[in-house]
Amino acid sequence: MKAVYCPYCGGRTKRNGRTSSGSQRWRCTACGASTTVRYDDTATRLDEFLGWLLSKDSQAAMPGGGRSFRRRTAEFWEVWPMPVPDGELHRVLHVDGIWVARDLVVLICCSGERVVSWYMARSENSRAWSALMSPIPAPEVVVTDGGSGFAKAVRETWPRTRVQRCTGLATSIWTIPGGTAPLP
């Protein structure tokens, strides 16, 4: 075991019984301060979580039906990966909000080839749209269905960008030689 040093004076410590919760107590031989040591195992638990996430295994196949695993890795379920826009300039971008749950909308920005960025919010409002658009270079044209707060956000974030409204089938894109065009 590694030597434990006093957090106050830096002196060596020795074992001095246990706390009421069962943790080892340490007493400094120099200043007499008492302390406990807590080991940070976050990296180990994250590694376990990612190992499961990227595997084909189910939690039901784990010992105890995965209950201990879920308890150990509970904090990592709250992590939402957010994309980092690459800074590429696009002529035309399409934006839309997809409601996943009652209080969760995913705002998506995509070019003709791929998703450029996304942002998760509780509602479609100008602040959420601005958070989606601000790290992306302003395009020439943005195509939108005119969701709540979008007009204000585009005026503030991309003031020189032209806005093309779309409805229903007009949002579909078909490929023509040399580019893309909206359906007639």
First to last CA, the chain: 74
Chain Cα centroid distance, residue 168: 30
How far is Cα 125 from Cα 148, in angstroms, rounded to an integer?
6
pLDDT at 179: 47
Would you say residue 180 has pLDDT above 50? no
To which H or E segment does residue 163 belong?
strand 162-165
Radius of gyration of the chain (CA): 27
How far is Cα 18 from Cα 25, in angstroms, rounded to an integer?
5
The residue that leads in pLDDT, 175 or 178, is: 178
Q: What is the CATH number of domain 92-182?
A: 3.30.420
Domain range summary for the chain, segments of one domain joined by +: 42-78, 92-182
**pLDDT more than 90, % of the chain:** 56
**Residues forming beta bridges with residue 182, ordered by sequence position:** 173
